[in-house]
Amino acid sequence: MNNIKANIENLTSLWQTASEPFNSYFKEPYFNYSFIKHSDWPNRLWFDQEVTNETVLLAKEKMASISKNLIIPYWDIYNDDSFKIIEKNGFSLKFEQIGMFLKRNQLYEELNNIHLKKVTTEKDAKLWSILFSKSFGYHLHPSILNSLPKNADFYIAYHLHEAIGTGILYTTNRISGIHAVGIIPEHRRKGYAEQIMKILINQSINMNSELITLQSSNMGKGLYLKLGFEEQFIMKNYALD
């Protein structure tokens, strides 16, 4: 359970960290939420305890006052069907992810055809935002990248001199979370995502991280299993109908 908690805390801490410079992170008695105008990400509302009908209704009321476009993540770690409470209150499942973790101290061999460039300028931030949108289908405002702390590294992936994808390495308490590894459509199925992952895993090992975590789509799960990751939990992501 500790590894599961570390995975979830790394993810939610990233949402919080991205939102705080815009005064867009809020903590309520039963849930937290991040909402940045003119951006689709992070824009999440998450519960820090098992959901009840009362807390879901409170969340729904809050969303009605700020934005109906917040995504509500639900991690199935309570060994029950409490997600059905969310579904009964007007929310539909938008997509699922799989929480995964890796413990590794042996470096992967890296190929020379891919390199990562850390986002350090406004021009980099704009390019990263474009690549992210092409890869995932939703928008992250470039200003978010210019306001993050040192433990949040956003990378542009290049094949030779062409930008082909994105990645994030976010470290909290010796936990390295790998996020937003995406390849733009015209460069998929060429092994680039695997090379990006190996570079980020190696960086995490060199930083003496105790644990490496991520949240995978069903499509990406096979790659992460191949790299040694293990499954932890299912994360259901809901949107208000």
61-91 pLDDT, tens digit per residue, is 999 999 888 999 999 998 889 999 999 999 9
DSSP structural state of residue 107: P
DSSP class per residue in 115-169: EEEE--SHHHHHHHHHHHHHHHSS---GGGGGG--TTEEEEEEEETTEEEEEEEE
As a whole-number percent, the residues of the chain with pLDDT over 90 amount to 91
Q: Are residues 126 and 168 in the same domain?
A: yes
For residue 214, is pLDDT > 70? yes
Alpha-carbon distance 35 to 103, whole Å? 33
Alpha-carbon distance 155 to 153, whole Å? 6
In single-letter form, the type of residue at position 12 comes to T
CA 129 to chain centre: 15
Any domain includes 237: no
Q: Are residues 11 and 88 in the same domain?
A: yes
Any domain includes 191: yes
pLDDT given at position 105: 93
Any domain includes 105: no
Tokens in use for 6?
A: 């570390």
Question: pTM (2 decimals)?
Answer: 0.96
Count of domains forming the chain: 2
Q: Are residues 82 and 128 in the same domain?
A: no
What is the dihedral angle through the alpha carbons of 126, 16, 101, 51, rounded to the nearest 10 degrees? Answer: -130
The stretch 178-191 carries a mean pLDDT of 97
Q: Are residues 118 and 228 in the same domain?
A: yes
Q: Are residues 151 and 223 in the same domain?
A: yes
122-168 pLDDT, tens digit per residue, is 999 999 999 999 999 999 999 999 988 889 999 999 998 999 999 99
Q: What is the mean pLDDT of the chain?
A: 96
Q: Are residues 118 and 205 in the same domain?
A: yes
Domain range for 204 is: 114-232
Among residues 38, 14, 1, which one has the least CA distance to residue 215? 14
Any domain includes 103: no
Beta bridge partners of 34: 25, 44
Q: Are residues 118 and 209 in the same domain?
A: yes
